[in-house]
Amino acid sequence: MKAFKIKINGEEKVTAGIDDMSIVIANIHTMNMPELDSKNLEVADNDRPKFCMSLGGITDDDDQNNHVNWLSSEPLNLNDKIEIDIIETDISDPPKKLDQEILDALATNLKKKWLEAKKLYIKHKNEFEV
């Protein structure tokens, strides 16, 4: 099977591959958005930006939920070195299954954060649109 071998700062983290029709996604991202205090929708004190790596995908097996995950928002720091090797292998680290309850909670949380950000934007719209 084809797989991603992930190293962070020289430390092998995971080998991710699925031996059926599937999608595997390696994602390195930064979040430079303010975190909101959910009680008053004011910007909370935090260090920005935050850097993360996620590694997951979708498998074609017969399980009820086909979403899989190896790394979930793995924290990264400035000057970290990320290596992604594309390899052929017979062995992959087993993915973690994401059950529907977790997926629903993630979707609900994402929508809540989006609505909070929208309220903050509307409150400060004149400052943002110069």
Higher pLDDT among residues 36 and 84, named by residue: 84
Higher pLDDT among residues 110 and 23, named by residue: 23
Torsional sign, CA 13, 101, 2, 90: positive
Least confident of 12-16, 25-29, 30-34: 30-34
Span 97-125, average pLDDT: 76
pLDDT tens digits, one per residue of 63-74? 545 778 899 888
Note the Cα 5 to chain centre separation in Å. Answer: 17
> Quick check: 18 and 57 in contact, CB under 8 A?
yes
Residue 47 pLDDT > 80, yes or no? no
pTM above 0.85, yes or no: no
